[in-house]
A and B are shown apart, each in its own frame.
Chain A
């Protein structure tokens, strides 16, 4: 009997050991990702922290590194978000409601669904080509704020639709039944019962999609937004610039001081990103409590 017991114990000990070793391995794998981020951020902070001064936010870009700022880029990014947010919210959530609540489960719905999920994986530069041809040339919007915002809207729309669909799907069926039982119409049910409880989830998706948009460079480079802009856009058809473009611009200058400016631009961008992700997380937490 003792032999069996020992063998058993040995086996258990072995399995425990394996478990422990793999635990270490998994932690190591996770830390590589986190470490890479830390290396990146420390590198950027060292370069950029000295330039993180009021000048950076109040001055326009200049050929001289000292006193050069990103006022127009920061404002441009914010304007772009302000235009994108409502358009992509309306179209994204509209599409999600249609697919989840109205569409009959048939061939066409499946095609649309498939189309949306595949669009989410199309490279951003392809959207740039589309934006260039459709908005800049065909609709003659030039390389304006609205052309950039619309290109970005198309880019993030699939992401918003998919996340909004998930949020709508998570609303229990009982809510809808209760509403119908009270004699509500379909639209009343959707707008007053389903959507309110799906809203935090939907907004989380929208915010995350926006945070994807503020870091995108390639499609804007394609539509020709790589521009020196020393004024604030006043209308939709005005030229504009955004933070990643300004960073790209600074990085391609020969003078070393511009590297520091680029780094400080990145810090601002990351701060904006963190702010948005943080608010998305707050929303998500609130949302999870509600269900």
Chain B
């Protein structure tokens, strides 16, 4: 038992490594074939994405800019709100309130994203259109806001974890000096938990990049390099869904493009997650 178990357990641990290898191999082998036909330079730096409508062109930048716009809007919503909720829950809220609100926020995280998509289209979009008359029915703003609402719980819960692991004694010291709760929260707790908070923000960012169903429903499918959030755009994830449910024959360049896009998506989120790990470790305050 003593000799066997470490080996078995190691095998368990290696599943995760195998998963990564599996993802990379899957994506690379198909992406490689795609790049045989489309030069990698055109893919990475092309500014027009029109894989299905002639004249065909495979520049990923419009998808990337669409993805980043959604992500940016989502973070603009989720990070301030999530952080404020986290501060409230960890520093202000009575224990009873926290016990109620935390599970509620966790449910918010568990609502299927397809539901959020229709929430965006039927409730948020009309609201936006009544404020900005130029807004299209499919627009990045609506989808972005709703993706933001979806990731609030994640930011909140991760930052709250970071804040509640700040030792009690630090707070007590500040209170003893006559600090108000606000001062304790903003000048003691937040700086002490800063690395955890930043890490939660980066993770939220990467979650927003990978969000699929909301943007498929509410952001339209117009690959569009624009800075105007009231226009319809397409994200990388939405493109993958479009082609995998669509009528494109397999084995064509068009079909291969979903692997190239998937690869791009994977590389970006993977790097962001490593960044989050690095920040969390590098800037951790030890007590």
Q: Which residues of A contact B (CB under 8 A)?
A: 15-16, 18-19, 22-23, 25-27, 29-30, 32-34, 36-37, 39-40, 43-44, 90-95, 97-99, 102-103, 111-112, 114-127, 129-130, 133-134, 154, 157-158, 161, 185-187, 190, 208, 211-212, 215-218, 221-222, 226, 244, 247-248, 251, 266, 269-270, 273-274, 277-278, 281
Contact = CB atoms under 8 A, between A and B. Distances in A.
Contacts of A124: 210, 212
B16 A121 contact: no
B194 interface: no
Interface on chain A toward B: helix, strand, loop, or mixed SS? helix
Nearest to B153: A33
Nearest to B102: A281
Contacts of B244: 221-222
A154 B22 CA distance: 11
A190 B27 CA distance: 38
A32 B81 contact: yes
Interface of B: 1-2, 5-6, 8-17, 19-20, 22-23, 26-27, 30, 80-82, 84-85, 87-89, 92-93, 101, 103-108, 110-116, 118-119, 122-123, 149, 152-153, 156, 180-183, 203, 206-207, 209-213, 237, 240-241, 244-245, 258-259, 262, 265-266, 269-270, 272-274, 276-277
A266 B27 CA distance: 33
Given A121-B207, A277-B110, A218 B89 contact: no
Contact of B112 (A93, A98, A130, A244): A244
Contacts of A216: 112
Contacts of B89: 30
B22 A125 contact: no
Contacts of B103: 277-278, 281
A23 B115 contact: no
A102 B259 contact: no
The 8 nearest A-B residue pairs measured at CB = A123-B210, A94-B12, A29-B84, A26-B88, A98-B9, A118-B273, A19-B180, A95-B13
Nearest to B4: A187
Contact of B6 (A102, A211, A274): A102
Contacts of B237: 123, 125, 218
